[in-house]
Amino acid sequence: MPELPEVETIRRGVERHLRGRVLDHVELHTARVARRETDLGAFARLGGRRILDVARRGKFLWMVLEGSDAALVIHLGMSGQLLHRTGAGAAGEPVRHAAATFHLDDDAALVFVDQRTFGYVSASLLSPTPDGLPAGAGTEIALIPLVAAHIARDPLDPYLDAGAASERMSRTSSAIKRVLLDQRYVSGIGNIYADETLWASRLHPEIPASMLGVERLAGVIGAAAEVMRSAVAAGGTSFDALYVDVEGGAGYFGRELAVYGQLGQPCRRCGTLVEKGVVGGRGTYACPTCQAWSAAETQHRDMNWQDW
C-alpha cells in the first residue's frame, strides 16, 4: 500500500515524535514480523538507545540509534501502519493486526500494525553507502542498513544520479512500467505513482524502456519526482483505512490522481475515458489516447515482432 509519499509522510510523523527519545525496547507480537532476522537477540541490543535519526530510502524506513552498529528497519509492505500512542493507548490495549510495538522512554509507543503481514522489522547492520553520500531522507549519515542496501536511491533523493539511473534503464527491454516498479533502478515508485508518472509522461506502460532513450528516461524520472513531491505535500494517497499517518489521519492526494483508480473517468487532458489493463501482473490505468504508442514506437515494435 504505502509508496514513497506515504512512507515519507509517516517518516516525518515518526521523526516528530521519536527523534531524540530513547527506545526502551522492541516488542514482537508475531514471529512472522521478524522473519528476515537471523538473530532475534539483535532486537534486545537496540533497547535503551537514543533515536538519532528517522531515515528513509524508497519505501524502507529505519531508526539510527546512538552507539549501535545496527539500525531498526521497518518495511510497511502492502498494509503496514505506524501509530503513535500515548498514555493508556501505549499501555497495551489490544490492537487488531498489531505486529510489533516500539516502546519509548516517555511512556509512549509506536505500534506497527499490518493486516496483510507483508511488512517486517529488522535489526539490520549498517554498511557504508557505495558512493559515500548520506543514505537517504532524514539522515546525514552515509550508512545504509544491509536489508535496504540492494535498492537504488529514490527520485526525491538529492544525491540520486538520474543520468546513471536512466542509462541503466535504457539497457533493459522490459516494459517501462515494470522498470519503474523495479526498485533496483530507482526506488520508491509503486503501482499508483508508476501509473501517474506514465500518464504525466504520455507513455504507454508497455513500451520497452530500451526504446525510449536516455534523455526521455531521465524525463520520466523527473516526472516521478514531480508527482511524488505533490503527493507528499498532500500527505499521500488514502483509498481506505489502510493508509494513515502516525496520528491515524488520511492523505488527500487521491483527489489529484489522473488515472489510478479512475476507470471510466474522462482523462483530464483529452477527455477520453480511462482504461484498465494488466502490466507486469499489476492493475494498470492509462488514457488510451494520451498514452498511445507513437507512430515511431509502433513501427519499432512491429519491426521487432517481424524479427521473430
Partner DNA sequence: CATAGAACCTGTATGC
Partner DNA sequence: TGCATACAGGTTCTAT
Q: Binding segment for DNA among 99-107, 222-230, 234-242, 299-307 (CB under 7 A)? A: 234-242
Rounded Cα distance between 164 and 153, Å, is: 11
**# binding residues, DNA (CB under 7 A):** 40
For the chain, the residue count is: 308
Q: Binding of DNA at residue 238 (CB under 7 A)?
A: yes
Q: Binding of DNA at residue 98 (CB under 7 A)?
A: no
Q: What is the smallest separation between the CB atom of 181 and DNA, expressed in angstroms?
A: 6
Q: Concatenated DSSP letters for 44-72? A: HTTTTEEEEEEEEETTEEEEEETT-SEEE
In the bound state with DNA, the residue whose beta carbon lies nearer, of 77 and 134, is: 77
In the bound state with DNA, the residue whose beta carbon lies nearer, of 50 and 282, is: 282
Q: Binding of DNA at residue 262 (CB under 7 A)?
A: no
Q: Match 527506545 to its residue by C-alpha cell.
A: 23
Rounded Cα distance between 294 and 292, Å, is: 6
Residues pairing with 51 in the sheet = 65
Q: CA separation (Å) from 217 to 93, 163, 202, 220, 277?
A: 49, 9, 12, 5, 23
- The correct pick among 79, 127, 265, 289 for binding DNA (CB under 7 A) is 79
Q: Binding of DNA at residue 242 (CB under 7 A)?
A: yes
Q: Concatenated DSSP letters for 131-189? A: TSS--SBT----EEEGGGTTSPPPTT-TT--HHHHHHHHTT--SBHHHHHH-TTTS-S-
Cβ count near 155 (within 10 Å)? 27
Rounded Cα distance between 63 and 51, Å, is: 6
Amino acid symbol at 224: A
Q: Binding segment for DNA among 76-84, 102-110, 127-135, 291-299 (CB under 7 A)? A: 76-84
Q: Using CB under 7 A, which residues numbered 169 to 228 contact DNA?
A: 172-175, 178, 181, 183, 190-192
226 annotated active-site = no
57 annotated active-site = no
Reading phi first (left if > 0) and then psi (alpha if -120 to 50, else beta), residue 123 is in beta
Q: What is the smallest separation between the CB atom of 150 and DNA, expressed in angstroms?
A: 7
Q: Binding segment for DNA among 44-52, 136-144, 279-287, 290-298 (CB under 7 A)? A: 279-287
Q: Binding of DNA at residue 147 (CB under 7 A)?
A: yes
- The correct pick among 75, 84, 153, 177 for binding DNA (CB under 7 A) is 75
Rounded Cα distance between 153 and 186, Å, is: 6
In the bound state with DNA, the residue whose beta carbon lies nearer, of 101 and 124, is: 124
Q: Binding of DNA at residue 101 (CB under 7 A)?
A: no
Q: Binding of DNA at residue 61 (CB under 7 A)?
A: no
177 annotated active-site = no
In the bound state with DNA, the residue whose beta carbon lies nearer, of 86 and 304, is: 304
276 annotated active-site = no
59 Cβ contact list (under 8 Å, min separation 6): 2, 3, 4, 7, 75, 76, 183, 187, 188, 190
Q: What is the smallest separation between the CB atom of 69 and DNA, expressed in angstroms?
A: 20
Q: What is the smallest separation between the CB atom of 86 and DNA, expressed in angstroms?
A: 26
Which residue numbers are catalytic? 2-3, 59, 282
Binding residues for DNA (CB under 7 A):
1-3, 32, 58-60, 75, 77-79, 96-97, 115-118, 147, 150, 172-175, 178, 181, 183, 190-192, 237-240, 242-243, 254, 280-283
